[in-house]
Every structure is written in structure tokens, then in C-alpha cells.
Amino acid sequence: DGELSLSRSMINSSDKIIRKGGSSIFQHAVEGWKINSSLVLEIRKNILRFLDAERDVSVVKSSFKPGDVIHYVLDRRRTLNISQDLHSLLPEVSPMKNRRFKTCAVVGNSGILLDSGCGKEIDSHDFVIRCNLAPVVEFAADVGTKSDFITMNPSVVQRAFGGFRNESDREKFVHRLSMLNDSVLWIPAFMVKGGEKHVEWVNALILKNKLKVRTAYPSLRLIHAVRG
């Protein structure tokens, strides 16, 4: 219990120490740190044995044609028909092809950053990943507003946008997507039966409103790799 309390104290106080301009054990740990390039290459090589993130982050248009039938990853007995809308939104090439960044921030949607004041620090990164279309404008001081890659589980449609039951829900969703400004919207459409109608509703709204968002749908290989 004593060690756990000390760890929590260090974690909770480290940010305050840094903000006050003082040094911290974390700052000292970073000083003198050098990248091990050979180890980096070895790690990348091992990862590529199972997953090529650049390629597998999304299926591409040439992978399917409208009407093709595929099996859901978590329920192989059930199938999904590739609709015309879905096919039209598949990218021609991977949205991450030849893209490399020096700094990256991954921002969840649990609310843990509330009152953190981390917004500017998050936005200073070259590439920002956000989860499940979490709201940003009203919490900009804490979470920032920059969004380069945003995940959207189909269940978000029901949970955060009322299942598009009325025009107000749909307008709220369209407004949220209109703020993405050509960011990648990553929708796991091939996981389980049940979310396909939400995916189709989202696709239809994107097309109808000509939203400037780059849709991506993770490949079956990626999902299998993540599941292990």
C-alpha cells in the first residue's frame, strides 16, 4: 500500500512539478536519452511479421466490389454485403501510406483529462489520434482540438447521437464530422453483426452532406492481429 501510494503521488505531482518550471525525476530520465536505432528496426521488423499498420489500417476500394459478401471477424457464421455507399467511401490507397511523424498524441475519451490544462501540449504534436468522436470544442483547454485520426465504434451512433432518431440527432452528428477537416475517420465495420445499420447511416450522411472526411475501415487482417 505504501509503494502504491507513493507511485500515485509521483504520477499526480509530476505534472505540477513540470508546470512550475522545476525539474522532476521524469525530466532527468529523459536527459541524455539516446535512441537505439538498431533496436527500433528490430522491433519494426517483428511487428511486420504480424501487422503492417500502413497497409492494414484500412481496406481499399480495389479489395471489394459492391455486392461482395464477407464474414464478420467475431461471428464467422454471419455475413455482410458490401453496399454501394460503403464501397464508394473506401479509400483508393491507405490513408497512412508514406506518412511519418516525429511526435504523436493518443487521446482517449474517458474524461481523465478534465481540468488538466493539457490542450496546448496535445495540439503541439504532429499527429493526434482521438477515440470514439469524443467532444473537443467544449473541453479544448484540457484536450485540445487538433484531430488527425479519429476512431468511431458504430455503437457511438446510438450512445452519443440518439441513434439518429430525429433531425436534431443527425444535425449534431453532421456538425461533429464537419469539424474534422479532412481527418481520417476510422470505422471498424466488420467486427460483429448488429452495427451494420449504424455504419450505413453514417456512410449515407457523409455522402449526402459531402463531408470533408477521409473514411477508413480496418482490414480483417488488422482486426485479427489486434485480437491476437
Q: How would residue 193 be classed by pLDDT, with cut points 50, 70 and 90? A: confident
Per-residue model confidence as pLDDT tens digits over 23-56: 455 555 667 788 899 999 999 898 888 778 788 8
Query: In this predicted structure, what is the pLDDT of residue 76?
Result: 76
Query: In this predicted structure, what is the pLDDT of residue 171?
Result: 96
4: pLDDT strictly greater than 80: no
Query: In this predicted structure, what is the pLDDT of residue 11?
Result: 36
Average pLDDT rounded to a whole number, residues 1-16: 39
Per-residue model confidence as pLDDT tens digits over 79-127: 888 999 999 999 999 999 999 899 999 999 889 999 999 999 999 999 9
Beta sheet of 104-107, edge-to-edge order: 104-107, 127-130, 149-151, 184-186, 214-216
Query: In this predicted structure, what is the pLDDT of residue 142?
Result: 97
φ/ψ of residue 176, rounded to 5: -65, -45
Per-residue model confidence as pLDDT tens digits over 147-171: 999 999 989 999 999 999 999 999 9
CA–CA gap between residue 204 and residue 164 (Å, rounded)? 12
pTM of the model: 0.78
Q: Helix count (H) and strand count (E) of the chain?
A: 11, 7
Instruction: Using DSSP, state whether 107 is helix, strand or coil.
Output: strand
CA–CA gap between residue 221 and residue 50 (Å, rounded)? 9
148 CB burial (10 A radius; 0-12, 13-18, 19+): buried
Q: What domains can you pick out in the chain, each with its CATH number?
A: 2-33 (no CATH), 59-227 (3.90.1480.20)
